[in-house]
Amino acid sequence: MAARIGIDYTAAVQQAAGIGRYSRELVKALAALSPQKEALEYRLFVASAGRVSLPALPGPNFAWRPTRLTERWLARLWYRLHLPLWIQTWTGPLDLFHATDFFLPPVKPGTRTLVTVHDLSFVREPETTMPGMSRQLNQWVPRSVRQADHVIAVSEATRQDLIELYQTPPQKISVLYHGVTADFQPVTAPDRLALVRQKYGLGSQPFILSLGTIQPRKNYQHLIQAFAALDPALALVIVGSKGWHYEATFNEVARCGLTGRVHFFGFVADNDLPALYSAASLFVYPSLYEGFGLPALEAMACGTPVVASNQSALPEVVGEAGLLVNPHDVEALAAAMSRLLADTDLRQKLAQAGQARAAQFTWTGMAAQLLDLYKTLLD
């Protein structure tokens, strides 16, 4: 009889980036590695299913298991009222459940459990997390980690945080890095580069790119302050949806007198990102805390030189293929950007090193490790 694995796929159909991308790529890679003869059946659990349209299933051994109940209602039922509603109420019988988004729901006794923890920024950098979200995370994540049979950390930095902050036994944690898809590669065709510049109103102006939700943790205020010290001919492009306290970032642009030089593009579709990365003079990622830092990896895959924070998981991702700086040091951030902009040889060296570095991170490799982990837990 095929083993039955439940996967929380809610974020995949609700979030374009972040955990949504992680969940989509994870399932897509599992499907590519799981032929029909594989003795595994996947059941994709989706909350708030009445609000979204479900895409085509990725393979013959995958099935939807949706509920119209929202995540908020499920949280009330599970964590406030403590009702004994196992996840199997919606998925049917399971041998293993993989919670891909921090929170492990109640499962029927005897079901093996796995939870992915993407970061502990709400513990390490609490002032950068929305208070309501911080309370939920601090209540639910430690419990999920304690109750799970095994935990996936998306970086060694996150693994160390779990050990230090939650006293999680090291042998209970496996590090499975994110990957980067083949779509992210250098775009050199002049027509594609011209098209993306035209689409976003960039003309022929050289620009620095940064990407991520506009929120305190992304440290855009320091980036804007550092950018103010650079050549006035440059533009700064920030790609990302408005998040918590986004107004502070917008106000910093005005305070620094950079209105018209800093452009906020909001969400940008995946099919435009490789050309946008490739058109940029460099990519800057000064985040205060990242559990992984996928945009830096995508930029490197596209051959764009990277300046990144030297904190949390970013040194693991970037390695020696970019310039790492203290994200709290505005002068150091400005100096790193100036150095890269002025040194053509260094830009070329880091572009090549970045592509080689990015090639080491694949979703297929991650899925192969995940399959091994599933089988170990099921044995």
**Choice among 33-37, 83-87, 259-263 with the minimum mean pLDDT:** 33-37
Convert the pLDDT of each residue in 63-113 to its tens digit.
Answer: 999 999 998 889 888 877 777 799 999 999 999 999 999 999 999 999 999
The phi, psi pair for 17, rounded to 5°, reads -115, -170
| CA dihedral sign of residues 244, 122, 296, 30 | negative
Q: Mean pLDDT across the stretch 301-308?
A: 99
Q: Give how far Cα 262 sits from Cα of 167, 338, 344, 357, Å.
A: 43, 17, 24, 30
Token pair belonging to 172: 């209970």
Q: Hey, is 258 helix, strand or coil?
A: coil
Contacts of 344 (CB under 8 A, 6+ apart): none
Tell me: pLDDT of 250 over 70: yes
- Residue 170 is predicted with a pLDDT of 98
The phi, psi pair for 38, rounded to 5°, reads -60, 130
Q: Do domains 3-179+362-378 and 190-358 have the same CATH topology?
A: yes
Report the chain's mean pLDDT, rounded to a whole number.
95
Do 357 and 343 contact (CB within 8 A), yes or no? no
Q: Give how far Cα 268 sits from Cα of 213, 236, 305, 366, Å.
A: 11, 15, 20, 26
Q: Mean pLDDT across the stretch 251-260?
A: 97
Token pair belonging to 348: 């070329």
Do 222 and 330 contact (CB within 8 A), yes or no? yes
What CA–CA distance (Å, rounded) separates 251 from 228? 14
Q: Give how far Cα 297 sits from Cα of 78, 197, 362, Å.
A: 37, 22, 11
The HSE-up count of residue 226 (CA atoms within 13 Å, CB side) is 25
Convert the pLDDT of each residue in 43-73 to its tens digit.
Answer: 999 999 888 889 999 999 999 999 999 988 8
Query: pTM for this one?
Result: 0.94
- Residue 38 is predicted with a pLDDT of 63
What CA–CA distance (Å, rounded) separates 18 from 236? 22
Token pair belonging to 335: 């100096």
% of the chain with per-residue pLDDT over 70: 99
In this prediction, residue 337 has a pLDDT band, given cuts at 50, 70 and 90, of: very high
Q: Mean pLDDT across the stretch 176-183?
A: 96
- Residue 97 is predicted with a pLDDT of 99
Q: Which long-range contacts (CB under 8 A, 24 or more apart) does 138-142 make?
A: 139/79, 140/75, 140/79, 140/102, 140/103, 141/102, 141/103, 141/117, 142/166
- Residue 37 is predicted with a pLDDT of 47
- Residue 293 is predicted with a pLDDT of 97
**Choice among 82-91, 203-212, 366-375 with the minimum mean pLDDT:** 82-91
- Strands of 169-234, DSSP E: 173-175, 207-211
Query: What is the chain's Cα-based Rg?
Result: 21
Q: Mean pLDDT across the stretch 280-294?
A: 98
CATH architecture for the domain at 190-358? 3-Layer(aba) Sandwich (3.40)
- Residue 169 is predicted with a pLDDT of 99
Domain boundaries in the chain? 3-179+362-378, 190-358
In this prediction, residue 35 has a pLDDT band, given cuts at 50, 70 and 90, of: low
From the options 3.40.50.300, 3.40.50.2000, 3.40.1480.10, 3.40.50.2300, give the CATH code of 3-179+362-378: 3.40.50.2000
